Amino acid sequence: MVDAGSFSTMSEALYDTFLRGAPTLLYEMGLIYGTSLASELQRINHGTEVDRTALLWMTRLAREH
Is 11:26 a contact under the CB 8 Å cutoff? yes
- pLDDT, residue 61, reads 75
DSSP string, 21-42: GHHHHHHHHHHHHHHHHHHHHH
Count how many Cα atoms sit within 13 Å of the Cα of residue 30 in the half-sphere of its side chain.
11
What's the CA gap between 15 and 23, in Å, rounded? Answer: 8
- pLDDT, residue 18, reads 85
- pLDDT, residue 47, reads 59
Q: pLDDT tens for residues 10-49? A: 888 888 888 888 888 888 888 888 888 777 777 766 656 6
- pLDDT, residue 30, reads 84
Task: Indicate the pLDDT class of residue 50, thresholds 50, 70 and 90.
Answer: low
